[in-house]
Amino acid sequence: MAVSAEAQRALEALDALHAEDPRRVEVEGQSLPKELWHAGRMSAWLERLEAAPDELVQLAVRGQHLQRWQVPRDEYEQGRVGYLTWRRDQGKRAGEITARLMREAGFDEQSAEQVARMIRKQGLGREAGTQAVEDCACLVFLENYFADFSQQVERDHLIRIVRKTWGKMSPQARELALGLPMSEEARELVEAALAS
């Protein structure tokens, strides 16, 4: 995906921060910083969702998980309220840092704030850029984390989570999700969520 020199500088700055993640994942025999790998999966899904995504959307997708390891989930209370507070705080923080990197790369304040809004998921369901960020996040979750997550959560609760995730996705993202390879158990859970 072609981008301006400013966007390329901002993407490189984002990836430099992603690469600081001390957590590692093994991908095809190579050890990668987990967050850098995650950002790459987000961008890969964006390429499948949109033929020619706007560079601001590309930046928002790439910055969505920025430095999450620095504010662990277990520093917040357990349960839904704690999770939603953590997720909101993470989105605000990632949006602020991404906007700062964009300004440093030469973007104007309006563009930087527009990307921060997308990362904070403001305008979900109404703004195409925010929807693209959410779609990519949902697809990365379903593709890479759902199988392990489903082993840790009670079945009825998991079905509610899948139903809510599905409700936030665009029709195109839902179609792509249905094409994901899944274990028989995971597929059955998704089907149960969609049937109810």
pLDDT at 45: 97
CA–CA distance, 74 with 193 (Å, rounded to integer): 27
C-alpha angle 194/137/167, rounded to 5°? 30
Q: Mean pLDDT, consecutive 10-residue segments, the chain of 196 residues?
A: 89 98 94 96 96 95 95 91 93 97 98 98 93 96 86 86 91 93 84 83
pLDDT at 158: 87
| Pair 63, 115: CB distance under 8 Å | yes
- Amino acid identity, residue 153? V
The CA-based dihedral angle spanning residues 19, 69, 113, 11, taken in that order and rounded to the nearest 10 degrees? 10
- Alpha-carbon Rg for the chain, nearest whole angstrom, is 17
CA–CA distance, 144 with 131 (Å, rounded to integer): 20
pLDDT at 32: 96
- Amino acid identity, residue 40? G
Among 59, 69, 81, CA closest to 14? 59
pTM over 0.75: yes
Phi then psi dihedrals of residue 24, to 5 deg: -125, 155
CA–CA distance, 15 with 154 (Å, rounded to integer): 35
pLDDT at 1: 65
**Residues contacting residue 74 through CB under 8 Å, at least 6 positions apart:** none
